[in-house]
Chains A and B, each alone.
Chain A
Amino acid sequence: MDAILLQILNGLDKGSAYALIALGLTLIFGTLGVVNFAHGAIFMIGAFCAVGLSQILNISFETIDPTKLDFLGNPAKIKTAYVESWFGTEIGAAIIDWAVPLAILFSIPIMLFAGWAMERGLIKHFYKRPHADQILVTFGLAIVLQEIVKAFFGANPIPTPAPAMFQGSIDFGMLVGFPENAIIYPYWRLIYFLFSGVVIVAVFSFLRFTTFGMVVRAGMADRETVGILGINIDRRFTIMFGVAAAVAGLAGVMYTPINSPNYHMGMDFLVLSFVVVVVGGMGSLEGAVAAGFLLGILESFASMNVFKDIIPGIDQIIIYLVAIIILLTRPRGLMGRKGVMEE
């Protein structure tokens, strides 16, 4: 029993990342009808927002402290971050420590702007072109973004730790009545899951309970009629593109402590997120979220030794296998809408 619970928990953090990226992909597809191959790159840029912020906060100047000597006998040079000298040592250190959570605030405007710029600058011109062209141009964009990040941050993964407060693990089993040390779970993964839950709820309530969201939903159902009613649906869809980019960006920001970001992390996630979207059903937001968590949890179940002994390496291909089976039995995906992407 505790083993099952542990696997579910283990699947949640990856599942959250899948769900957030797939949610953004589906938002873009449902509103604009574009398959965005650059969405993984947006996730990656989000992660590098966190890296960038922590590097900016760590910018420091050197002072010479004549009272201390370094090992060569010269006066020791002491590096002090500007932040520390401005706000005092304690507050400064705390700010640097909290770089990743702070990057959330920092990244939202950046990602909104990036999404807006992408839609207005590039994708807008591709609505009337075939789907293949949309895939190709966003694929090209993904390569460009990835290479730019590589040029500035290098090809190696950059570790970006979570705040000291959240390092370490929680004995989750104790909370729900299992013996001690049965289920150990890192704090940050729990936070990642809760955070993604908050983002998902926020996106859904934004779509459900605001006038703006209502218009967007109406536009997803029948764009033409909404346009005829005198609503500038294009502008709203552009904003939704920005929102989708922000969702993926936030997923990236919060993912940095779990896995050190490198320039091709986006591509790695993108392929799986596509599978998630297809399994969930093209154009279905609920489907994307559900399939994200489902596949994340399935993946972690498949990595249990019980299953690995029967079929070695099943954990690495289970997602693809499930996708193939689902597409063969339910071509529309789990919760696919009728009439989306059908011949």
Chain B
Amino acid sequence: MKILGLNEKDSRFLLIVIFLTLATPVLLQPFPEGSGMAQFNAGYPDLMQRFAIFGIFAIGFNILFGLTGYLSFGHAAFLGIGSYAVVWMYKLLDYNVIWGLPLAVVVSGIVALGIGFISLRRSGIYFSILTLAFAQMMFVISYSDLFGRFVGTTITNGETGLQVYGNDPQVLLGATEPSSPHFFGIVMRENFWTPQFGDWQFTFNNGYYFCAVIAILAFYLSLRIFRSPFGLMLRAIKTNQNRLNYTGVHSRPYTLAAFVISGMYAGLAGGLLAAMDPLAGAERMQWTESGTVVLMTILGGAGTLMGPVLGAGFIKYFENIFSKINDNVLHQWFAWMPDGLEDAIVWVLHFFVGKGWHLTLGVLFMLVVIFLPGGLVEGGTRIWRFIRGTDRKEKTADATHQPEHVAYVAEKEEF
């Protein structure tokens, strides 16, 4: 079966993704309410929305990093810009997200064009540092509302963050219109169906499905980019930019296009964040946030289609679960052990749960970078191969047709 101009394999892949996305409220709610395992359920709207939104963010980042090989450390800037754009549309027009989201994409695209134009003059480490500097600059600008002070009005509302106030114009606001973000009357924070099957409680949330549909579209678009001649060109840039230049291809427009596309994805994700919760703050632009999307992409598997989404889901899920576990919970779990041993184990684990979740994340991330550069996807593939007992040689079967890795200058100094 072929759909939407994809080949058979990709069509099947896309259908699976669509199914998984739409069935998320059920799939992530495997444990009955009231049972001890209920805390591992993730089927509540807020978390699912974040899965979808950060999935979009990571998909876009992957187009730049996974496909083109440029490691940007400044993508959070676009996330913040998207949020600000959407909230400004709430303030000026009304709560319908249809005005804000396209604007978020366009504005972040324009900013990405500017930043990319300068940053892409260099590659490698310089590029990472340049994007980092730009993002940090954007953060400072919005945190202190420098643009606003320059033009004499508030643009980002400084550290308070941008939100809708009663005296905002909201010129399109009708009398019967809901007073929270909605899509032509479909209010984002409302649930359209909350069925109960025995002890199982499911929540079908408007906002989640809105995000999910956009996420599917975003995924489909990235699938098409991956399979297009343009995607092939990006891959060529990642593999060996020098050789491409010698062939007479001017690679800058391609890298710039990739940068702008991924910036637009990030802007869309930021806009959706504001569509779920009508706030925009500068902390969204902090460079640790850029670090998070890097973590997501690497953890899931850079350069693969599904990896970034998995990584985003993985990190957001465990962030929620781990931060709920405190010392008391740990003591309950290990209550069957002898006292001394129990205390020792709880003392060690206590650094990794609750507020220490970032430590777990950092350790996990390092392990993935060191031992599993392909991320979770590669891990899954390896396990699958192991189970099937596929010959290991198959992996490098086409070695003769793979270009060799060409060292950077600094690497050439090895002997």
Contact = CB atoms under 8 A, between A and B. Distances in A.
B408 A320 contact: no
B366 interface: yes
Contact of A320 (B128, B137, B150): B137
A135 B124 CA distance: 10
A65 interface: no
A143 B373 contact: no
A341 B124 contact: yes
Contacts of A223: 413-415
B154 to A, nearest CB: 13
A272 to B, nearest CB: 8
B146 A274 contact: no
Contact of A224 (B351, B363, B413): B413
Interface residues of A, number: 56
Interface string A151-170: 10000000000000000000
Given A313-B144, A316-B146, A135 B356 contact: no
Q: Which of A34, A148, A320, A340 has the most B CB atoms < 10 Å from its CB?
A: A320
A33 B294 CA distance: 22
B379 interface: no
A341 B365 contact: no
Interface string B209-221: 0000000000000
Interface string B70-81: 010000000000
B161 interface: no
A42 to B, nearest CB: 15
B18 interface: no
Contact of B140 (A128, A142, A317, A343): A317
Contact of A144 (B65, B71, B362, B415): B362
A144 B359 CA distance: 5
Interface in B278-297: 287-288, 291, 294
Contacts of A136: 71, 294, 298, 365, 369
Interface in A51-69: none
A341 B409 contact: yes
B358 A143 contact: yes
A339 B359 CA distance: 38
Interface stretch (B9-17, B115-123, B227-235, B335-343): B115-123
**Secondary structure call for the A interface:** helix
Contacts of A282: 125-126
A311 B150 contact: yes
A143 B118 contact: no
A220 B57 CA distance: 40
Interface string A308-343: 000111001100110110011001000000011111
Contacts of B359: 143-144, 147-148, 151
A312 B134 CA distance: 18
A275 B287 CA distance: 14
A128 B137 contact: no
A35 B410 CA distance: 11
**Secondary structure call for the B interface:** helix
Interface residues of B, number: 52
A132 interface: yes
A297 interface: no
Contact of A316 (B124, B140, B294, B408): B140
Contacts of B144: 313, 316
Contact of A127 (B121, B149, B414): B414
B294 A139 contact: yes
B369 A137 contact: yes
Contact of A271 (B69, B123, B132): B132
A313 B149 contact: yes
A128 B411 contact: yes
A135 to B, nearest CB: 6
Contacts of B365: 136, 139-140, 143
A311 B365 CA distance: 41
A227 interface: yes
B26 interface: no
Q: Which of B121, B129, B140, B355 has the most A CB atoms < 10 Å from its CB?
A: B129
Interface string A281-296: 0100000000000000
B361 interface: yes
Contacts of B408: 130-131, 341
Contacts of B409: 339-342
A128 B69 contact: no
A195 to B, nearest CB: 28
Nearest to A339: B409
A331 B124 contact: no
Interface in A1-38: 29, 33-35
A227 B415 CA distance: 8
Q: Which of A139, A141, A267, A321 has the most B CB atoms < 10 Å from its CB?
A: A139
Contact of A35 (B125, B355, B413, B415): B125
Nearest to B143: A316
A147 B302 CA distance: 25
A136 B128 CA distance: 11
Given A139-B291, A224-B413, A271-B287, A343 B132 contact: no
B47 interface: no
Nearest to B362: A143
Contact of B362 (A140, A323, A339): A140
B410 A140 contact: no
Given A132-B71, A320-B137, A327-B130, A313 B146 contact: yes
20 contacts: A122-B370, A131-B124, A133-B369, A133-B373, A143-B358, A143-B359, A143-B361, A144-B363, A146-B358, A223-B414, A271-B287, A274-B129, A274-B132, A316-B141, A316-B146, A320-B137, A324-B134, A327-B122, A341-B126, A343-B241
Interface of A: 29, 33-35, 122, 125, 127-133, 135-137, 139-144, 146-148, 150-151, 222-224, 227-228, 267, 271, 274-275, 277-278, 282, 311-313, 316-317, 320-321, 323-324, 327-328, 331, 339-343
Given A132-B69, A327-B130, 15 more contacts: A130-B405, A131-B410, A132-B65, A133-B369, A139-B294, A144-B366, A148-B351, A150-B355, A267-B288, A271-B133, A275-B133, A278-B129, A320-B140, A323-B133, A331-B122
Nearest 5 CB-CB pairs, A to B? A33-B410, A143-B362, A147-B359, A313-B146, A140-B366
